[in-house]
């Protein structure tokens, strides 16, 4: 069993041990995440989905957060999605809910974090494979699928 660890993810047998995304072209899921972040700079419509891109990725990697920080991220995602909030309102709400938190991100070194495998119907792998040309549609699908999967977790 080959385990590869970068500063943000752990890949085991060619898959992220948290989100299940496959390694592609020697790139971890965190490496794949960097591509749409770059693509955003070429397209204002794609950049308008930045919150959703980042939230989808981070929700699928809970080891990056404290327990409370993760719960707040999921809560913000659900409320923003269900209420069709504008990005400016989402950012305002994020500032409000995190204002009194001392720590949102996981303070443990990456190698010491507890991770649980979870298989998601869509991951950053799908965004990368769809390419820049299909990124807007694929990120929109990702947030919709993720919202449904979060609903199953709650019920």
The pair phi, psi for residue 6, each rounded to 5°, is -105, -165
Helix-helix angle 87-98:50-59, to 10 degrees: 50
pLDDT at 153 over 80: no
Model confidence over 8-32: pLDDT tens digits? 788 888 999 999 999 999 999 999 9
Total residue count of the chain as it appears in this document: 155
Largest CA distance in the chain: 45
Q: Give the model's pLDDT for residue 155.
A: 46
CA-based nearest residue to 20, from 116, 104, 127: 116
Model confidence over 53-111: pLDDT tens digits? 999 999 999 999 999 999 999 999 999 999 999 999 999 999 998 888 788 888 888 88
Q: Compute how many other C-beta atoms are within 10 angstroms of the C-beta atom of residue 20.
A: 16
Could you tell me which residues come within 8 angstroms of residue 105 by beta carbon, excluding any fewer than 6 positions away?
Answer: 64, 65, 66, 69
Q: Give the model's pLDDT for residue 116.
A: 86
Per-domain residue ranges for the chain? 29-106+115-154
CA-based nearest residue to 80, from 108, 59, 104, 101: 59
């Amino acid at each position: 069993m080959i385990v590869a660890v970068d500063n943000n993810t752990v890949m085991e047998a060619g898959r992220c041990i948290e989100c299940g995304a496959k390694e592609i072209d020697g790139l971890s899921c965190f490496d794949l995440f960097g591509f749409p972040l770059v693509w955003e700079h070429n397209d204002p419509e794609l950049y308008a989905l930045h919150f959703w891109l980042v939230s989808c990725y981070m929700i699928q990697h809970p080891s990056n957060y404290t327990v409370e920080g993760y719960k707040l991220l999921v809560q913000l995602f659900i409320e923003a999605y269900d209420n069709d909030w504008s990005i400016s309102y989402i950012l305002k709400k994020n500032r409000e809910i995190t204002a009194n938190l001392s720590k949102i991100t996981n303070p443990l070194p990456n190698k010491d974090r507890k991770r649980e495998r979870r298989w998601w119907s869509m991951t950053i792998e799908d965004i990368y494979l769809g390419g820049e040309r299909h990124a807007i549609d694929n990120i929109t699908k990702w947030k919709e699928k993720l919202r449904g999967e979060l609903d199953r977790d709650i019920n």
